[in-house]
Amino acid sequence: MLAIPYPAIDPVLFAIGPIAIRWYALAYIVGLILGWRYCLWIASQPPKIVSREAVDDFLVWATLGVILGGRIGYVLFYNPSFYFENPSQIVAVWHGGMSFHGGTIGVLTAIFIFCRRRKISILGFADIVACAVPIGLFFGRLANFINGELWGRVTDVPWAMVFPTGGPEPRHPSQLYEAGIEGIVMFCILYALLRAGARKRPGTIVGVFLIGYACARIFVEFFRQPDQQLGFLIGGATMGQLLSIPVLLLGIILLWLARRSPKLA
């Protein structure tokens, strides 16, 4: 079968002695910084429900929510037996292994606590943060591609690739599918809602994002190879698909609540 050569990129961007800067870490840093700047711009537009200073302060909360939630989620959802036997590996995030669903729980928890302490509209602030999440997803999936991890199932499509850790068979570059759908497509959808004034009904944007992400993830999982230690689960579904079901339901509930709430001036 024909296949596109995998562009083997060194996961380490550069190293100075024992200190190594990896593309994986850089992707998270760039995603957080660009997302923060985007949130600042959104917060400056009407309806103004939060100050720029609060958005600045939330960057630290968001970082902790993404990293702690993403890593703990991966440990608990995808490989608990390995990490319980090797607890020192839990902190080795540079080897990969972050769960978006865990990161979602972490960030939503951070939003809830932060907004309660600052007396800010939780759904209104969540709308702002949700607009920036596709930026982080885009760079995160590119980092997965560079790491040569989370590759797709064996296929004969013309754009299939042979990944160094995926055996000799050509596979779907599912990381790029996710970067395109969860990153670029979702960003455009949320931006269109933003320009259409969806923030006047708090909860609309975050609800649409959760629904869109869940649908995109469930779809892409049909092309992505399940984690080796898990394989296929209930009814042939993958862990990513099963975890996306409660995300989908939460998005539907938030969108329903938003449609019932009065419009902000």
Domain ranges in the chain are 22-260
CB 148 within 8 A of CB 174: no
Query: CB under 8 Å to 205, separation ≥6 — which residues?
Result: 127, 130, 131, 190, 193, 194, 198, 199
The tens digit of pLDDT for each residue in 244-261 reads: 999 999 999 999 999 988
Percent of the chain with pLDDT over 70: 98
Q: Please tell me the predicted confidence (pLDDT) of residue 96.
A: 65
Alpha-carbon gap, residue 144 to 9, rounded angstroms: 11
pTM assigned to the model: 0.90
Q: Kindly give the interhelix angle for 122-147 and 23-43, rounded to the nearest 10 degrees.
A: 160
pLDDT average, residue stretch 211-231: 93
Per-residue CA distances from 58 to 85, 178, 240 (Å): 35, 26, 28
**What are 66's two structure tokens?**
């993404």
First to last CA, the chain: 59
* CA–CA gap between residue 198 and residue 204 (Å, rounded): 6
Q: What integer pLDDT is reported at residue 78 of this predicted model?
A: 87
- 169-194 confidence digits (pLDDT tens): 999 999 999 999 999 999 999 999 99
